[in-house]
Structure 1
Amino acid sequence: MTKIDEFQELRPLLFSIAYRILGSVSEAEDAVQETWLRFEASPVEPRSARAFLSTAVSRVAIDVLRSARVRRERYVGPWFPEPLLADPYADPARAVELADSVSMAALLLLERLSPLERAVFVLRDVFDFDYPDVASAVGRSGAACRQLAARARRHMAEGRPRFDADRHDREALAARFFGALREGDLEGLRDLLAADVSLAGDGGGKAPQLARAVAGAENVARLLASIYPRMARAGVGFDRHEVNGQPGAIFRDGDGRVLHTLALEVVDGRIEAIRVVINPDKLGHLGPVADAWAINRRVRHPGR
């Protein structure tokens, strides 16, 4: 097998590792490309392409994350990961676990970890790498990696998301939610929301966004029931789609350009969180991006 064949075979795994470490599709793709360049330029044929490439992509991602964290500290408003529609790494035996590990809630928890803790947790707890391979990937001893993993697990356990285990039930609830949203059905929406539900948007200062998160079933239901009918009249529609392994949708303008994504977090048969990504810098990988400011003007001032 040639180098390029080995790389292409492992590419889904490399992207999935990098995305979980970085929370960014574009940065993960860049990390994978840099990994290929290192693999291609290596004068020595590695004993294991998987070990070499996993080590390379982890180290690249750790370096990128260190600089990205500084930018995220100055970010305008809430920071959410770039939406991922499909995780290319498929393992049917662990499909639910892998989907939950790429959820918005899980990735936001990973933001609490140091870059090394995050990489160790992803490699060991998500992808089940042996500790010697983890140690090689992050350049630390096996004992140090065990300590990093233990610290990461403690942080993650403090706020670990609890998703409904039955994906069929999640999807059925999501279908009811989007049906009620389309109809502007206040009561229907209210019945699907947890009492302490929150709705927040990530515009990054580059698109219209809520001044602050909206909390509580009544407040969130009233906002959704009032805003979507006006958006529909402005030509906005949506396609249901899994977003970061959870029920969600892509909202588009009348020309099919991406306006924002919406992801639901379902716990105990109710929607506990709604996260909207509208920052245009985070949507380009999904297709042409809509002018959110222009749509906002049409929604707020119809007929102008």
Structure 2
Amino acid sequence: MTPETELEFEELRPLLFSIAYRILGSVSEAEDAVQETWLRLAAAGTQPDSLKAYLSTVVTRISIDVLRSARMRRETYVGPWFPEPLPTDSHGGEREDVYGSPERASELADSVSMAALMLLERLSPLERAVFVLREVFHFGFADIATAVDRSEAACRQLASRARRHMDDGKTRFEADRRKRAELADRFFEALRDGDLDDLRALLAADVETVNDGGGVAGGVGGRFGAEKAARILITAVPPLLAIGARLEQRELNGEPGAILRDADGSVLGTWTLDILDGQIQRIRSVTNPDKLGHLGPVADLKEVLRRRNRHRRER
């Protein structure tokens, strides 16, 4: 492999990761798929005519194979299943400079939202791969056909079917990203201050809270309504902050959110907010420790909660 090929691979790495993550919904599995793609390139011994087309084909096929086995595991998953949270702000993840313009970055951020990735779970592995390559990354059908080893006609049918499924379940969001960020700032400020009234005013009347704890860390949430959800949040979060935990506001999967860290900076969980019509419609959290390692050292949530409860009793 030439130094020029190695350099071109590194330039294409963000694209390969983005394809793999959208197909798999897992940061760790997407990173493994990109690494396996590198190994196959190194073992190929020949220089492909188009490195981008070759690498996209390889990472797509690897991702489809991994997804087929992952879907069996997800069928027995305990509680709600969410994709692994992906930072999409300037701290890492998918960045605007990779895609050339803020408009393109915004389009790609919407395609990687928790809601979009959950919709992709409805598709077969082939439909999912074709949809990602065509609708998200605008690949031509000739390249898609090569990537998934199907005819162009078959790929067009797969794309059409996948698009219908996605359109049928599409979730509406606040289109103005600045307004979403401002409302998120007010939400997290109210949480930090323990302000029940302000928090309640920001939540939709039928707000839903859903947690992916994998059956090992935290509950599953529910549709509690604004009053009860606000009281649960005020009861749970400010006491955590009182023992040194902190909310690190971040954009996760293209949506406003936060990483909750303990006093040592280890990760307790993540939150993302679905916002529409000036209110928070859904709060998605991930506390399954197996889905948080890419964000830093993972805290023992149960131990931190015990410390929180002890502190609350002693007050």
Contact 1:3/1:40 (<8 A) preserved = no
Task: Rate the CA distance shift 1:238–1:212 in 2: closer, same or farther, 3 A.
Answer: closer
Compare 141-150 and 189-198 and name the one that shifted more.
189-198
Q: Distance in 1 between matches of 2:136 and 2:220?
A: 35
Cα offset for 1:5? 1.1
Q: Distance in 1 between matches of 2:160 and 2:269?
A: 36
1:98 is aligned to 108
2:160 is aligned to 150
Q: Distance in 2 between matches of 1:193 and 1:144?
A: 45
1:108 aligns with 2:108: no
The 5 Å alignment of 1:192-271 reads: 192-207=202-217, 209-271=218-280
**Runs of 4 or more off by more than 6 Å in structure 1?**
none
1:7 is matched with which residue: 9, 15, 23?
9
2:76 is aligned to 74
Contact 2:80/2:220 (<8 A) preserved = no
Cα offset for 1:192? 1.0
Q: Distance in 1 between matches of 2:74 and 2:167?
A: 23
Q: Distance in 2 between matches of 1:58 and 1:211?
A: 32
Contact 1:247/1:263 (<8 A) preserved = yes
1:23 is aligned to 25
Q: For 1:22-47, what per-residue CA distance to the aligned partner results, in whole angstroms no more than 9, with x for missing partners? A: 00000000000000111111132111
Q: Distance in 1 between matches of 2:144 and 2:222?
A: 38
SS of structure 1 residue aligned to 2:248: strand
Q: Tell me the amino acid that sits aligned with residue 167 of structure 2.
A: A
Cα offset for 1:212? 4.1
1:289 aligns with 2:281: no
Q: Distance in 2 between matches of 1:150 and 1:195?
A: 36
Cα offset for 1:235? 2.4
Contact 2:210/2:220 (<8 A) preserved = no
Q: Which runs of 5+ in 2 are unaligned?
A: none
Contact 1:247/1:264 (<8 A) preserved = yes
Cα offset for 1:85? 0.5
Task: Rate the CA distance shift 1:283–1:211 in 2: closer, same or farther, 3 A.
Answer: closer
Compare 240-249 and 212-221 and name the one that shifted more.
212-221
SS of structure 2 residue aligned to 1:247: strand
Q: Tell me the amino acid that sits aligned with residue 163 of structure 1.
A: F
Cα offset for 1:206? 2.4
Q: Distance in 1 between matches of 2:295 and 2:233?
A: 24
Cα offset for 1:215? 3.2
Q: Distance in 1 between matches of 2:224 and 2:34?
A: 38
Contact 1:83/1:282 (<8 A) preserved = yes
Q: Tell me the amino acid that sits aligned with residue 44 of structure 2.
A: S
**Percent identity at matched positions?**
62
Q: Which runs of 5+ in 1 are unaligned?
A: none
Q: Tell me the amino acid that sits aligned with residue 306 of structure 2.
A: R
Q: Tell me the amino acid that sits aligned with residue 186 of structure 1.
A: L
Q: Output the TM-score relative to the length of structure 2.
A: 0.93
Compare 214-223 and 34-43 and name the one that shifted more.
214-223
1:166 is aligned to 176
1:43 is matched with which residue: 45, 56, 70?
45
Cα offset for 1:151? 1.0
Q: Output the TM-score relative to the length of structure 1.
A: 0.96
Q: Distance in 2 between matches of 1:73 and 1:163?
A: 28
Contact 1:14/1:54 (<8 A) preserved = yes
1:61 aligns with 2:37: no
Q: For 1:134-163, what per-residue CA distance to the aligned partner results, in whole angstroms no more than 9, with x for missing partners? A: 111111111111111111111111111222
Task: Rate the CA distance shift 1:170–1:183 in 2: closer, same or farther, 3 A.
Answer: same
Contact 2:86/2:253 (<8 A) preserved = yes
SS of structure 2 residue aligned to 1:248: strand
Task: Rate the CA distance shift 1:121–1:68 in 2: closer, same or farther, 3 A.
Answer: same
Q: Distance in 2 between matches of 1:104 and 1:177?
A: 19
Q: For 1:108-143, what per-residue CA distance to the aligned partner results, in whole angstroms no more than 9, with x for missing partners? A: 111111000000000000000011111111111111
1:83 aligns with 2:93: no
Cα offset for 1:211? 4.3
Kindly report the root-mean-square deviation, in angstroms, between the aligned alpha carbons of the 2 structures: 1.4
1:130 is aligned to 140
- Count residues in correspondence: 303
SS of structure 2 residue aligned to 1:99: helix
Cα offset for 1:216? 1.8
